[in-house]
Every structure is written in C-alpha cells, then in structure tokens.
Amino acid sequence: MPVFEYKVIDVKGKTRAGIIDAENAPAARQKLRLAQKFPVSVEEVKQVIAADQGGQRPALNLFTRVKPADIAATTRQLATLLGTGFQLVAALDLLIPQTKSASLKRALARVKDALGEGQSFARALEQFPSIFSSLYINMVRAGESSGTLEIILERLADISENQVALNERIKTTLAYPLFVSFCGVVVLIVLLLFVVPSITSIFADLDQVLPLPTRMLLFTSDLFTTFWWLILLGLAGLVFFLRAAANTRQGRLYQDRILLRLPVVGPLVRKSAIARFSRTLGSLLENGVAMLPALDTVKNITGNAIISRAVQAAADEVEKGKGLGKALMETPVLPSLAIQMIDVGEQSGNLESMLAKIADIFEGQVEAQLLRAVALLEPVMILLIGCLVGFIVLSICLPIFEMSQLVK
C-alpha cells in the first residue's frame, strides 16, 4: 500500500506533519478528514528499484542519515511492545506516529507495508541498508527463526544504546582538540597562502643563499599558491579511489588486512570484532539457535573481512565435528585469550555465559583504549600545530638575523 507524507491543520489550528498509508491520494485525504485533520498537502513517498546481490529490491530515494540514537530508542520501544503481547504490525502502528526521524518513520511505514504483503521482518528491513545494519538484520532474522524476536530486539537495543553512549563520550572528548586543530589548519593555510609570500618577497633581491628552512618554506608556499587546485583534486581522487576499492571484495580484504596490522588501530579492531562476535553468538545460542546457523550469522557482523573469513573457516571445521575453541585456535586473527575462554566454556558446558563474559571483557578494553587514545590526541595535535607554526616563524626570522649580522 502506498505511503503518503502530509501536512494538515488540526482542530486547534496548528500545522502538523506526518505519514499515512492509503490506496491513493484521495483515500489518504479522506482518512485525514475522518480524523478531524484538514489536509494542506498530501504527497506520495516515491520509491526506486536498486539491485542487490543479483535481485531487485525497493529503496527510498528520499532518505537522509538516521541517528543511531533514534534506531536504539525505536528498537527498545518495539521490544517492549512485543514483550507485552502486541503483534508486530500492531506494534509498528503504534511506533510510527511517535518516531521523530522522518526518514525512519518512512522506513517503518514501508516495513509495515511489506509485512502486510507477507514478507518476513528481516526481509522487509533489508530494503533499507542505509538505516539498518547487517548486524541488526541478521539478529532479527535469527530471532524470527527461533521465535524469540522480542528478546533479540532487547539485545539489539542494549548494543545500540551502549554504542551510542560510547560515541557520545568520544565526541565530547574530541570536541576541543578538533576545534583547536581546525583553527590551527586555518592559521597555517592563511600563513602559507598570504602572509609568507608577502614577507618573503623582501628576500628575493638578496644576493645570498637563504637558509634551508626558509627555502623549504618558500617552496611549500609556492606549491600551495600555484597548485592548490591540483592538491584538492588529488585528495578528492584519493578518497574516491579508496571508497571504490572498499566496495570490491579484494579491495576490502586488502584494507582490512592493513587495519589489523596497524600498531594502535589493529588491536582495537580485533577486540571490537571479538566483542561483537561473542555477544551476538552468545545471544543466539542462548535463544535456541544452533551453532552452525549462529556462526553463519555472526560472521557477517564482525566488521572486518579478514576476521569474517576466519570465522567462516572455523565454522567449516565445526561442521566437520571439531569444537569451536579448537577450530578458532587454527585462525591466528582472533585474540588468544578469547579463544582459550571459548574452549573452557565448551568443555564446562557454559559456552553462552562464557561468551557473555568475553564480550564484557573486550568491550571494556575497547572503551578504555578508545578514550585513552582520544585523550592523547589533544596534546599531540597542539604540539604538532605548535611545531609547524614555530617552523614557519623560524624560517622567516633566520634570514632577518643573517641580514642584521651583515649590517653590523
């Protein structure tokens, strides 16, 4: 059934906006009038067709980015409604008018429409990959298959809320150093493009060799002044190339392999991946999903193609009868502590609780290391900008000092 965006005037004379589903625009207007709302405009939300993995699926062309906090709040409310006995479609009916994000509201309306056509909840969510992540969709699919959708949605809400809280703490910590860095970059650009050329022009007529720092500064300033457009074009081309490479299988593998080898980023990526892997796998096993289907689900939510391949290789060994811990020991990608704890959990028959403990341990480590790294950014950025400005000042002052020595 089509979905329409509307603007109306209510009985109190206030302008309201929202969405409504109806057979056509006149039917939508009629439904609004019956609700004592007087339509000002009613427009259908258009959809386009996008290819996905060899098939066709609808996707809205009006979407903007939805905040993770909105998704977390909606997920929590949906889990609560399902837990109190509401059917999925009825729960969505209640949620849609309360959703603040217009993009998320339109998505939920389309999802409700797809459910009415007989699609599964996970399949309906797949129409909106820019809003619902692969983790979200795969966990919903597992919840539907095991009959524990409300529990899975609660887990998703916990994951989303924890991620939102961590992101907010990081943003708060980064605000000041990023502001300082922005101001420093602006100052450097102004110095290189305007101040340095005007000051160093007095050195052009000097019949002497300029100091090396001054020559380096003049070369850099001339380069930026003459080829600034080429530099910007090169940076844009580099970003485009990296994004295009990330969309290919080999390019993604290569980039993820580099990420794992970086000194600070690599351990964070590993620990974050094992935390997601453990939390999701433990939730799936706890809610009745078999090991192999659960591994097939979690391999898609690690966030790193190399680690996903390692999980798939372990799943192949598990299918042959080997234990999960022993299978993971053959993949050197994951942390050894996590693998040993999984092996102990299997042997003791407490794998689900052990996976939860692993997730708690590594989530705590990731958060602590992230906040520590972000806290170090401020002095590093200030020191770097100070060194660059100091180099510029020194490069300008050195020829002046030499000139004063010649005058004496």
- d(CA 95, CA 153) in angstroms, rounded, equals 14
Counting residues of the chain whose pLDDT is more than 70, the rounded percentage is 88
Q: Is 287 in contact with 151 (CB distance < 8 Å)? A: yes
Structure confidence at residue 54 as a pLDDT band (50, 70, 90): very low
**Which residues in 206-228 are b (16+ Cβ under 10 Å) and which e?**
eeeebbebbeebbeebeebeeee
What does pTM read for this prediction?
0.65
Least confident span in 50-64, 97-111, 286-300: 50-64
Spatial neighbors of 63 by CB under 8 A, at least 6 apart, are 103, 106, 107, 128, 130, 131
Domain 268-366 sits in CATH 1.20.81.30? yes
- d(CA 220, CA 216) in angstroms, rounded, equals 6
- Tokens coding 263: 């000194």
Alpha-carbon distances of 395 from 130, 148, 189, 381, 387, rounded to whole Å = 49, 68, 16, 21, 12
Q: Look up residue 194 and give its DSSP letter.
A: I
**Which residues in 296-315 are b (16+ Cβ under 10 Å) and which e?**
bbbbbbbbbbbbbbbbebbb
Domain ranges of the chain: 268-366
Q: What is the pLDDT of residues 356-393, one digit of tens each?
A: 899 889 888 888 888 788 778 778 888 888 888 888 88
Residue 358, pLDDT score: 92
pLDDT exceeds cutoff 50 at 146: yes
Q: State the Cα torsion 255-256-260-264 to the nearest 10°.
A: 70
- Tokens coding 192: 């290189």
